[in-house]
Amino acid sequence: MTGASIAGPALAYWLVRYGFEVSLVERAPTIRTGGYAIDIRGSAIDAVNRMGILPAARAAHVATRQVTFVDSKGRNSVA
């Protein structure tokens, strides 16, 4: 499967758990050091809890104070 964003690894986790052989393919040359916060609430809490990663997700909590949008050249853009 392709796409190692959020849904890709989550789907891979469940497929492996049910006996499938899975390969994740990502075209980025390295893991990004930055990113964006993931909103885990509602049914997502149940999903990450069933995956056994809820404690780790809670430990990695980041309080977002500011969001900046940039264009493909890294310049601030207006949303």
Residue 19: pLDDT band (50, 70, 90) is very high
Q: Which residues pair with residue 70 across a beta bridge? A: 76
Largest CA distance in the chain: 46
pLDDT tens for 37-68 read: 778 888 989 999 999 999 998 998 887 777 78
Residue pair 77/69 in contact (Cβ under 8 Å)? The answer is: yes
Q: Please state the pTM of the whole predicted model.
A: 0.62
User: Which amino acid would we find at residue 31?
Assistant: I
Distance, CA of 30 to CA of 48 (rounded, Å): 25
Amino acid of residue 39: D
